[in-house]
Amino acid sequence: MEGFSGLNDIGAVVEADRAHVWHHLSQHKQYETIDPRVIVEGKGMRVWDAKGREHLDAVSGGVWTVNVGYGRESIANAVRDQLIKMNYFAGAAGSIPGSVFAKRLIEKMPGLSRVYYSNSGSEANEKVYKMVRQISHRHHGGKKWKILYRERDYHGTTIAALASGGQKQRNAQYGPFPDGFVEVPHCLEYRAQWDVENYGMRAADAIEEVILHEGADTIGCLVLEPVTAGGGVIVPPAGYWERVQEICRKYDILLHIDEVVCGVGRTGVWFGYQHYGVKPDFVTMAKGVASGYAAISCTVTTEAVFDLFKDDASDPMSYFRDISTFGGCTAGPAAALENMRIIEDEGLLANTLAMGDRLVGNLSALMDKHKVIGEVRGKGLFCGAELVADRGTREPADEKKVQAVVADCMAQGVIIGATNRSVPGFNNTLCLSPALIATADDIDQITGAIDAALGRVFG
Ligand SMILES: Cc1ncc(COP(=O)(O)O)c(C=O)c1O
């Protein structure tokens, strides 16, 4: 390990981190008095920090990513073997793992047929926005260029991805944003915007109202998370998705489903949209595709969309003139293939459904004891508990107290998450997304820690 002498001196690693690393999503003033957290090792569901402390990770690497758990030698070996054979060539050419993974992936996604590789969720979504804009130019005479997105959803961190994001605190101070992104209302019934019986239908009808207001001939695409993640773990109400599909068909609007969080098993099926029988035109995915063992994202679409980009080979501007340099890295699909094998061979989809039920069940049971839990929502191993100051009025719990619950769990050796700098006034939902390998004991340890933390913070 020459050249990495800090490895044997963890104190030096922490100091180098403090001096030179700019952490994501972090206010650094605190690190003048406390040590930045450095995670040094992981195995299964557990990680160890620089002080040697063990933690049960209930958020799969912080941001719902490490779906098959830490320390998977078979993925490391698959990546190593592939890198020695052929590490990189620009994506204008194919690769062995790229083509094999695309075939396996498409087998799980009936109706879709083409995979475009890049290396982050934001980028995968931007590919769709570029495709929609190019389809508008080439096939709609410049019409159908706007992209609808939903309040509370998030689609990434780049400027155009933020423009399609419905979380005001994430976007604040980063504008101005590009034109043509239009918001539709969220569908969280707990925070109902209409007093009706069939809330799912009503929330979807609100999308139609926006379409009619903007003019259907201006709208090219609607982007939605199947289950909203950072905006509050929102499981759409019954009837919502069916109506969304109907509206998209009625107005000839392409449906883009952002599976960056839900994709590849998180909700107990391969893709979140498959719970609802929806037929999307675009599906994007990233985090769980290779469980963080390599960077990879995919923009998947139909043959009908693909055909729009090869209809006129004599026109030098007719094809998708886009590249992602690192979309040509072979480590991503090599890791993704092995990741998919593990999910299949270890029966992790079934485990996710069973353990997801246990997680929601345990948290729901805590509602008797802790009045601060207003609602528990979830799909598979993707779960949120919204905390409220008053169950009657549903006034959100104080954000500082929500963060105190997260900190208390951390002190108990359990890493949980909470919505953070997302929707102003509503950063009050605890977020849980343990790896798909979680056992009943792991789930009970997670909810046990939350029980104790809620007791200490809220009394
Ligand atoms: C639903 C969703 N889409 C897109 C992204 C962006 O992914 P990335 O951070 O890989 O760019 C995220 C990240 O959290 C996400 O939650």
What is the chain's pLDDT, residue by residue, as a tens digit (459 residues)?
344 444 569 999 999 999 999 999 999 999 999 999 999 999 999 999 999 999 999 999 999 999 999 999 999 999 999 999 999 999 999 999 999 999 999 999 999 999 999 999 999 999 999 999 999 999 999 999 999 999 999 999 999 999 999 999 999 999 999 999 999 999 999 999 999 999 999 999 999 999 999 999 999 999 999 999 999 999 999 999 999 999 999 999 999 999 999 999 999 999 999 999 999 999 999 999 999 999 999 999 999 999 999 999 999 999 999 999 999 999 999 999 999 999 999 999 999 999 999 999 999 999 999 999 999 999 999 999 999 999 999 999 999 999 999 999 999 999 999 999 999 999 999 999 999 999 999 999 999 999 999 999 998
Per DSSP, which regions of 342-445 are E strands?
Answer: 373-378, 383-390, 395-396, 414-415, 417-418, 429-432
Q: Which of 118, 186, 261 to mutate to test the pocket of ligand 1 (most atoms within 8 A of CB)?
A: 261
One-letter amino acid for residue 109 of the chain = M
408 CA distance to ligand 1 centroid (A)? 27
CA-proximal residue: ligand 1, atom 13 (nearest): 156
Distance from C-alpha of 289 to C-alpha of 264, rounded to nearest angstrom: 6
Q: Which of 157, 159, 257, 297 to mutate to test the pocket of ligand 1 (most atoms within 8 A of CB)?
A: 157
Residues with a CB atom less than 6 Å from ligand 1? 63, 120-122, 125, 154-157, 225, 229-230, 258, 260-261, 286
pTM confidence score? 0.97
Atom of ligand 1 nearest to the CA of 125: 4
63 CA distance to ligand 1 centroid (A)? 9
286 CA distance to ligand 1 centroid (A)? 8
445 CA distance to ligand 1 centroid (A)? 28
197 CA distance to ligand 1 centroid (A)? 33
One-letter amino acid for residue 413 of the chain = G
Q: Which of 287, 299, 420 to mutate to test the pocket of ligand 1 (most atoms within 8 A of CB)?
A: 287
Which pLDDT belongs to residue 405? 98
Distance from C-alpha of 46 to C-alpha of 61, rounded to nearest angstrom: 10
CA-proximal residue: ligand 1, atom 3 (nearest): 155
How many Cβ atoms from other residues are within 10 Å of residue 436's Cβ? 30
User: 205-241: b or e for each residue (b if 16 or more CB lie within 10 Å)?
Assistant: bbbbebbeeeeeebbbbbbbbbbbbbbbbbbbbebbb
Atom of ligand 1 nearest to the CA of 123: 11
80 CA distance to ligand 1 centroid (A)? 26
35 CA distance to ligand 1 centroid (A)? 27
25 CA distance to ligand 1 centroid (A)? 13
193 CA distance to ligand 1 centroid (A)? 26
Q: How far is CA 253 from CA 70, 136, 155, 248, 444, in A?
A: 40, 11, 19, 5, 44
User: Which stretches within 412-439 are classed as H helix?
Assistant: none
| Residues near 34 by beta carbon (within 8 Å), at least 6 away in sequence | none
Distance from C-alpha of 85 to C-alpha of 80, rounded to nearest angstrom: 9
Which pLDDT belongs to residue 7? 56
One-letter amino acid for residue 178 of the chain = P
Whether the Cβ atoms of residue 184 and residue 224 lie closer than 8 Å to each other: no
CA-proximal residue: ligand 1, atom 5 (nearest): 156
Which pLDDT belongs to residue 2? 41
Tokens of 390: 């008053």
One-letter amino acid for residue 287 of the chain = K
Q: How far is CA 345 from CA 3, 215, 340, 348, 353, in A?
A: 39, 49, 9, 8, 16
458 CA distance to ligand 1 centroid (A)? 32
Atom of ligand 1 nearest to the CA of 297: 10
Atom of ligand 1 nearest to the CA of 63: 14
Q: Which of 119, 154, 234, 298 to mutate to test the pocket of ligand 1 (most atoms within 8 A of CB)?
A: 154
397 CA distance to ligand 1 centroid (A)? 26
Which pLDDT belongs to residue 282? 99
Which pLDDT belongs to residue 1? 37
Strand partners, 429: 386
Strand partners, 177: none
Which pLDDT belongs to residue 3? 43
Q: Is the peptide bond before 176 cis (omega within 30 degrees of 0)?
A: yes
Phi, psi of 311 (to 5 degrees): -75, -25
